[in-house]
Structure 1
């Protein structure tokens, strides 16, 4: 597995073997059962996670209803940036959607590594920039596209969502009622 993770990390920063070794030695894989939380709303986020296997969903609760904002699959990084950066309670929860294995990069260890290696600091900056771009892309779905266009976008860009995520979670992610999603799926 570390080959895939190594390629993902090196796609974001040119790390020497020494810097990559420091980074890898600061973490290890962590298996987590389906439905378990990596972060609960109200907790302070203290890590960035890399998904080796399975998937995570990021959501918040409004009026007792869960609103999905992101699904993170194999080879994705995920965190709650505002809470991680500011050390304030998170507005979001991050939960496993199936049996999952993540690699955990704790903020404390990363900050220590940034002081040891400019290369690792560059990786961290590039990673956070990529995560911000991903968030902006999701936000643009709602600014630019109609519900039908959002569904078509998911079919084109993230077809695996349709096989692995429930219709209820998918409709919440798309910002539409489940019944509306069913109608859109019947008449694409």
Structure 2
């Protein structure tokens, strides 16, 4: 657990409102969750009960559309993962959360977090900030799909999110960009 805490402290706690006591309370309440590639954190139709923090590995959010998977988000080290709408409203999830690789995560049950939020205003502020960032990322991706051409989207990923090119299959990347695999291959040939 010490290695996990050190890794997380270095990456996400630098500008957080957490003091040492709140940090220790938060990490002590977490469960270590190890999943294999292809394991689901959450399936469509299930109600989300957890928030995860990815320490090592990669995960994705996707939904099934007829016979295709549509990827809407990718998560890497130090990213928080949840389905906010399902977690908050206790509605069935409309999409899946799945491990893209063997992954090590910290996991908090929603009831555990609710107790921590009551115990520590600093943890509540930290949690609220992280959930807001997740919501902003989702909204940004939706806007990005509406306002940029496929080639502009691919150029953006090359410049600002190169880990997607390195860590995500071309099939998953093409659905994330909102195009077919064949169209992405043509764009890649033109760009390279």
Q: Give the Cα separation in 1 of the matches to 2:14 and 2:129.
A: 10
Map Cα deviations across residues 100-151 of structure 1 (whole Å, 9 max, x no partner): 1111122110001111111111111111111111112211211221000001
1:90 aligns with 93
**Unmatched segments (≥5 aa) in structure 2:** none
Q: Give the Cα separation in 2 of the matches to 1:12 and 1:107.
A: 24
1:140 aligns with 143
Out of 113, 116, 120, the position equivalent to 2:116 is 113
Structure 1 stretches of 4+ moved >6 Å: none
Q: Give the Cα separation in 2 of the matches to 1:5 and 1:141.
A: 29
Map Cα deviations across residues 5-40 of structure 1 (whole Å, 9 max, x no partner): 124442453212111111111013221111000000
Out of 39, 58, 62, the position equivalent to 1:59 is 62
Q: Give the Cα separation in 1 of the matches to 2:132 and 2:117.
A: 16
Alignment size in residue pairs: 188
Map Cα deviations across residues 76-111 of structure 1 (whole Å, 9 max, x no partner): 111111101101100010011111111112211000
1:169 and 2:156 equivalent? no
Q: Give the Cα separation in 2 of the matches to 1:9 and 1:176.
A: 33
Cα RMSD after superposing both structures? 1.2
Q: Is the 8 A contact 2:35 2:102 kept in 1?
A: yes
Out of 27, 30, 54, the position equivalent to 1:27 is 30
> SS of the counterpart of 2:108?
strand
Out of 26-35 and 8-17, give the one that drifted further.
8-17
Q: Is the 8 A contact 1:27 1:103 kept in 2?
A: yes
Out of 37, 44, 47, the position equivalent to 1:44 is 47
Q: Is the 8 A contact 1:12 1:126 kept in 2?
A: no
